Structure 1
Amino acid sequence: MEHSLLDQISKKESELKQECDLACKEAEDLIHDARVKARGQLEEAEKKGAEEALVFMQKGMAELSFQVEEIRKAGEREAADVLSRGEKNVDNAIIRIVEKAR
């Protein structure tokens, strides 16, 4: 009877060890799958973030380029206006210089 009881205990221990090993293997597989999935999600998020950042930067650069062009045009208009006013004053300046020189 004792021998049989020890055999039963040993057999049960072996079964429990197999179940435990199987549960550990399943847990390891689940952890591995979760890590692979998380890595994929992270890579996808980084890719999407980089794409969105590029679009944002391109929009910003386009807006900046537009503003620079507007400033350049305004500067050209102002320069043309100053030149025009200056040319109109040349005749008056010459007359004044001649008058002062007499």
Structure 2
Amino acid sequence: MPEALPLDIEKCEKLLELADRFLLPVAKRHVALFVAQSDMDKEKKLILADKFDAEFLVEHALSRYRDKDDYMPMLAVGEDFSPKTKARILYNFFSHFRKDLL
């Protein structure tokens, strides 16, 4: 039986693409879990999560947004996000900072 290749962060985007193309949800989730545990920045995680519709990774990436200032890069990065991800970002923002806005 061949040995499993070690997973590194450089391969993750390609592996997510292949798992998505060949409809392999278990492989997609495995790679998404690896990305979530990596030291990749939260914007890149959110971009990958949106691109490959990885729900777990969206949740994980959004959990890393804790301050209002964390959302500022979203103005540049978030333009290409799907409406679903944009709605999740807005919901996350308003659920965290609702008290400050009133």
Look at both structures and tell me which one has the larger radius of gyration over its CA atoms.
Answer: 1
Comparing both chains, which one has the higher relative contact order based on Cα–Cα distances under 8 Å and sequence gaps of 6 or more? Answer: 2
Higher helix share: 1
Same fold (TM over 0.5): no
Question: Structure 2-normalised TM-score?
Answer: 0.19
Question: Structure 1-normalised TM-score?
Answer: 0.19
